[in-house]
Chain A
């Protein structure tokens, strides 16, 4: 069971952003996508989610071409956690999470009791049930990120794709979100996330892919691929390595 890309070319409009992508997100695994700003990470995520059409190559979801899935079918398999934004209207947190149930009802249906129960369960799973009635526009950035994860989980997907889930978070919330992702993979979901922090990838991801100029510089087990030499090539700058007494690694920007 995987979301797999082979010789994938992607981009938006008439512009090709990247090509030759080989990638597989497997159930029960966390995969991290690392790369400099503006090198096509978000565009690749949107292509993997079927939100942008692939420009070439194959893209399959559980061995079936992704393009043959309807929008609703796709949403029941792939959950998307975009970068948190404030939103226009002051929906309550529960209402935002309830929107994750869209693909489980038909076009005209009101939310069912089951939809509400799933919403409540996801709020509890992420430990944010106390926020249920708060306006989404008034909670903190870290809380919003957890709400968007709960919304994606309410879709009851088999894979979840997160775009820089820790970008706007304080130190404590970064840890919480990363721990959640690990837990989701342990429960059997396939998880893909982008990050600017190689330490997160090293600590929480099973595998990583390094993306520069829309091409893969390499992908494989996190521990093998995340070296200061590879990171220096990826970001085009010096990366220092520190090691503690137990031999655990951490990277510092040079």
Chain B
């Protein structure tokens, strides 16, 4: 028997994964560039030099000599809005990545269990009863938490078969019930005053989100939720295995699943309460991050956060500058993101899952 020498044959050799350092540098550069660009564009441009001067004076205590209007724009208008966009984008991307692992399905987004729909119902009810902007935000936040809480309570009582599947199916069913509720409230709403407000809110915007107080209210739940997700990220690999395999490997799955669902719901509800429904980020950014650093959640979650923050900030910057009236965020995330995603999908040879 002869064995043929196959020096020129490339079968069996595999290109190595992209290194996570390179992936994170790309994501970080995107985020940094997005922040500088977001300060620089708009009716009152703030250059990188202005920001550097202000930061330097904060560090050293020396006077910065900037126009007080510039300082006000940085601290009170553009800064908080930029921080909000980055926080929301990062949080939605991390929650989406965590849910895709938990539900073992790359098509899942953070609102699979009804967080966005519940929050939206809370918000349209708030608009319907005219309870003011803070009331609407609180109603939205509570709506998201209550919806997912109900889904979890009902899903956990189903003892047949895979608990993850029971949870998803319950989420889908209760989600469509809530969507019917939104439809009913819109049907009742005053078509001249309330209905446009509801429509605009449902499409997402950071237009009303520019003050340091807004930022503080948003940052609390988001930092809490993302910290929990970050801490659990190494266990998410095992959580993405079938239930019994994960337990055979030594993971007590039920409490970890509850913690991940609670954390993801917290950040999703807070995001929707602050900025309305922003689709796309939680679904697709995790795939972009996986393309950069691979599926290992230990590396994936930080990269997804950087990418999500940078992506939503770019979109928000476009919405507030491209025309006099703001375009809804939810529209642009999809319009800008889809061709980019298709281009990457078609041109890359890397792994998408």
The answer to whether A and B assemble together is: yes
- Answer whether A133 and B296 are a contact pair too, CB < 8 Å, given A80-B248, A99-B237, A111-B234: no
Q: Does A155 contact B (CB under 8 A)?
A: yes
Q: Does B206 contact A (CB under 8 A)?
A: no
- Answer whether A109 and B234 are a contact pair too, CB < 8 Å, given A89-B101, A91-B296, A92-B17: yes
Q: Does B232 contact A (CB under 8 A)?
A: yes
Q: How far is the CB of A105 from chain B (nearest CB, A)?
A: 8
What sequence of 0s and 1s flags, for each residue 73-96 of chain A, a beta carbon within 8 Å of any chain B beta carbon? Answer: 011101110100101111110010
**Chain A residues, CB < 8 A from B22:** none
- CB of B248 within 8 A of CB of A89, answer no
Q: How far is the CB of B277 from chain A (nearest CB, A)?
A: 26
Closest A residue, CB atoms, query B249: A102
- CB of A13 within 8 A of CB of B160, answer yes
Q: How far is the CB of A57 from chain B (nearest CB, A)?
A: 21
Q: How far is the CB of A136 from chain B (nearest CB, A)?
A: 10
A219 to B5, CA, bound (A): 50
Q: Does A137 contact B (CB under 8 A)?
A: yes
Closest A residue, CB atoms, query B298: A110
Q: How far is the CB of A237 from chain B (nearest CB, A)?
A: 31
- CB of B235 within 8 A of CB of A102, answer yes
Contacting A71 at CB < 8 Å: which of B17, B251, B352, B353?
B251
What sequence of 0s and 1s flags, for each residue 200-238 of chain B, a beta carbon within 8 Å of any chain A beta carbon? Answer: 000000000000000000000000000000011011011
- CB of A13 within 8 A of CB of B353, answer no
**Chain A residues, CB < 8 A from B238:** 99, 102
A78 to B245, CA, bound (A): 12
Q: Does A108 contact B (CB under 8 A)?
A: yes
**Contact residue range for chain A?**
35 or more
Q: Does A134 contact B (CB under 8 A)?
A: yes
A72 to B253, CA, bound (A): 11
- CB of B249 within 8 A of CB of A100, answer yes
- CB of B234 within 8 A of CB of A88, answer no
Q: Does B351 contact A (CB under 8 A)?
A: yes
- CB of A108 within 8 A of CB of B232, answer yes
- CB of B353 within 8 A of CB of A107, answer no
Closest A residue, CB atoms, query B101: A89
**Contact residue range for chain B?**
35 or more
**Chain B residues, CB < 8 A from A46:** 244
Q: Does B250 contact A (CB under 8 A)?
A: yes
- CB of B160 within 8 A of CB of A89, answer no
Q: Does B122 contact A (CB under 8 A)?
A: no
- CB of B250 within 8 A of CB of A76, answer yes
Q: Does A1 contact B (CB under 8 A)?
A: no
- Answer whether A103 and B249 are a contact pair too, CB < 8 Å, given A91-B296, A95-B296: yes
- CB of B252 within 8 A of CB of A71, answer yes
Please provide the chain A residues from 97 to 117 with a CB less than 8 Å away from any CB of chain B in the complex.
98-100, 102-103, 105, 107-111
Contacting A89 at CB < 8 Å: which of B159, B240, B256?
B240
- CB of B353 within 8 A of CB of A137, answer yes
Contacting A88 at CB < 8 Å: which of B240, B247, B248, B249?
B240
A72 to B250, CA, bound (A): 4
Please provide the chain A residues from 135 to 185 with a CB less than 8 Å away from any CB of chain B in the complex.
135, 137, 151, 155
Q: Does B104 contact A (CB under 8 A)?
A: yes
- CB of A107 within 8 A of CB of B235, answer yes
Please provide the chain B residues from 171 to 222 with a CB less than 8 Å away from any CB of chain A in the complex.
none
- CB of B249 within 8 A of CB of A75, answer yes
**Chain A residues, CB < 8 A from B235:** 102, 107-108
Q: Does B342 contact A (CB under 8 A)?
A: no
**Chain B residues, CB < 8 A from A72:** 250, 252
Q: How far is the CB of B321 from chain A (nearest CB, A)?
A: 38
Closest B residue, CB atoms, query A71: B252
- CB of B105 within 8 A of CB of A135, answer no
Pick from B101, B241, B251, B298 the residue with the most CB of A within 10 Å.
Answer: B241
**Chain B residues, CB < 8 A from A105:** 234
**Chain B residues, CB < 8 A from A102:** 235, 238, 249-251
Q: Does B14 contact A (CB under 8 A)?
A: yes
Q: Does B337 contact A (CB under 8 A)?
A: no
A81 to B54, CA, bound (A): 59
**Chain B residues, CB < 8 A from A65:** none
Residues of chain A at the chain B interface (Cβ within 8 Å): 13, 46, 49, 51, 70-72, 74-76, 78-80, 82, 85, 87-92, 95, 98-100, 102-103, 105, 107-111, 133-135, 137, 151, 155
Instruction: Pull 13 A–B residue pairs with CB atoms less than 8 Å apart, ordered by A.
Output: A78-B248, A80-B249, A89-B290, A90-B295, A91-B294, A91-B296, A95-B295, A95-B296, A98-B237, A105-B234, A108-B234, A134-B14, A151-B249
Residues of chain B at the chain A interface (Cβ within 8 Å): 14, 16-17, 101, 104-106, 159-160, 231-232, 234-235, 237-238, 240-242, 244-245, 247-252, 256, 290, 294-296, 298, 351-353
Query: Could you list 6 further interchain pairs (A-B, Cβ under 8 angstroms) beyond the known A51-B244, A103-B251, A137-B353?
Result: A87-B241, A95-B296, A102-B238, A109-B234, A111-B298, A134-B14
4 tightest Cβ-Cβ pairs between the two chains A and B? A103-B250, A75-B250, A80-B248, A89-B295
